[in-house]
């Protein structure tokens, strides 16, 4: 970790503690206690198919790469999310370990990173209409709020984010290629020398593949709203699906600002507090829901990272044997 990321993590952790104290640590623990261990397991099990779908979206981009299978991409996505949410890394650290997990499965590091870079663009594009859906949902349940201006602005932003990369396709390609090369440079690649020159042309020419990845990501965002509804329900708070959609989508949009903060520490909690307040939910409930989501990530992430570390050790041992 760089000094900047350490500072960001410490500030985020301090913000999380401050928000918990502001909400009342006792009230937060009481709300979390209502979830129970069985509820936490239910949330984790609900999330696993979502991760598998996210892996399938990534596989859509890299499905013709040597050694590529849906299972390998799903596993790489699980590792990527575990590293980003459990370890004190930024999202970039998760990207690196995700590519490494894919590489251990026999997919070239460079092409794996290139496919991930395109998948990230599809995921970002899918988040924007989901964010707009959340604004519309919020406007529907709170028509008196000053949201009439936010909806057209969000729609304009969505159109801009979709159109601008198409207009500046060359620059986008150069940026993605540079990022992918930087990530893959950590390990020897199994790719041919012309991978970076031909990969993007092939991918962006295949509109069906891009639309498939976009559609899967959009479906996963909406499944996030269902998961938010489930968390509230298991904690004893009855909210409607429209409210769950508004809360999850707006939190997802605000959480984007915590991209460089490891695990979005503090940013996620602040986002829940702000959005939940619009529905009359107190800060203790908001922080508890955020911590329940973090507990889910830990339940899934710790065994995932342990398994990844085992595979990494096995691969290192095999490489040492070959060298000897």
Q: Which of 151-155, 199-203, 264-268, 270-274 has the highest mean pLDDT?
A: 270-274
Could you tell me which of 154, 54, 58 has the C-alpha nearest to residue 114? 58
pLDDT at 74: 96
pLDDT digits (tens, 9 = 90+) for 164-173: 555 445 555 5
pLDDT digits (tens, 9 = 90+) for 279-322: 888 888 888 898 898 889 999 999 999 998 888 887 766 555 55
First to last CA, the chain: 33
Distance CA 115, CA 63 (A): 9
Cα distances (Å, whole numbers) of residue 219 to 59, 60, 116, 216, 238: 16, 15, 18, 5, 23
Distance CA 301, CA 151 (A): 36
pLDDT digits (tens, 9 = 90+) for 26-47: 667 767 777 888 989 999 999 9
User: pLDDT averaged over the chain?
Assistant: 78
Instruction: Let me know: does 204 contact 210? Beta carbons within 8 Å.
Output: yes
List the Cα angle 175/51/166 in 5-degree steps. 30
pLDDT at 37: 87
pLDDT digits (tens, 9 = 90+) for 65-104: 888 899 999 999 999 999 888 876 666 778 888 888 888 8
Instruction: Let me know: does 255 contact 271? Beta carbons within 8 Å.
Output: yes
pLDDT at 161: 56
Of 81-85, 226-230, 252-256, where does mean pLDDT reach its minimum?
252-256
Of 156-165, 187-196, 237-246, 272-281, where does mean pLDDT reach its minimum?
187-196
Which contiguous run of DSSP H or E holds residue 298?
helix 283-323
Distance CA 263, CA 43 (A): 19
Mean pLDDT of 252-270: 73
Rounded to 10 deg, the angle between the 169-184 and 91-104 helix axes is 70
Distance CA 126, CA 160 (A): 13
Percent of the chain with pLDDT over 70: 67
pLDDT at 193: 47
Q: What does 82-148 look like in DSSP terms, one character per residue?
A: HHHHHSS--HHHHHHHHHHHHHHTT--HHHHHHHHHHHHHHHHHHHHHHHHHHHHHHHHH-TTSS-T
Task: Please give the residue that has the higher pLDDT: either 8 or 202.
Answer: 202
Residue 310 CB coordination number (10 Å): 10
Say yes or no to pLDDT of 49 above 90: yes
């Amino acid at each position: 970790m760089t000094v900047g990321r350490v500072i960001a993590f410490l500030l985020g952790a301090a913000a999380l503690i401050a928000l918990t104290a502001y909400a009342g640590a006792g009230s937060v623990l009481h709300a979390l206690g209502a979830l129970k261990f069985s509820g936490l397991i239910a949330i984790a099990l609900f999330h696993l198919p979502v991760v598998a779908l996210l892996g399938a979206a990534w596989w859509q981009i890299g499905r013709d790469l040597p050694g590529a299978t849906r299972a390998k991409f799903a596993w790489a996505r699980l590792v990527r999310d575990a590293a980003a949410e459990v370890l004190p890394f930024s999202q970039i650290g998760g990207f690196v370990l995700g590519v490494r997990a894919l590489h251990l499965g026999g997919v070239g590091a460079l092409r794996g990173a290139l496919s991930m870079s395109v998948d990230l663009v599809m995921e970002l594009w899918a988040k924007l209409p989901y964010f707009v859906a959340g604004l519309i949902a919020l406007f529907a349940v709170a028509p008196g709020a000053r949201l009439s201006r936010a909806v057209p602005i969000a729609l304009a932003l969505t159109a801009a984010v979709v159109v601008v990369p198409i207009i500046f396709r060359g620059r986008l390609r150069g940026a993605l290629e540079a990022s992918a090369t930087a990530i893959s440079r950590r390990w020897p690649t199994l790719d041919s020398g012309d991978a970076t020159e031909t990969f993007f042309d092939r991918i962006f020419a295949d509109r069906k593949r891009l639309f498939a990845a976009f559609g899967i990501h959009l479906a996963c965002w909406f499944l996030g709203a269902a998961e938010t509804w489930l968390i509230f329900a298991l904690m004893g708070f009855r909210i409607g699906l429209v409210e769950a959609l508004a809360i999850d989508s707006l939190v997802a949009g605000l959480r984007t600002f915590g991209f460089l903060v490891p695990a979005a520490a503090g940013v996620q909690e602040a986002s829940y507090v702000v959005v939940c307040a619009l529905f009359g939910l107190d800060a203790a409930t908001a922080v508890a829901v955020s911590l329940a989501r973090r507990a889910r990530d830990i339940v899934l992430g710790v065994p995932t990272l342990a398994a990844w570390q085992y595979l990494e050790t096995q691969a290192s041992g095999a490489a040492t044997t070959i060298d000897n």
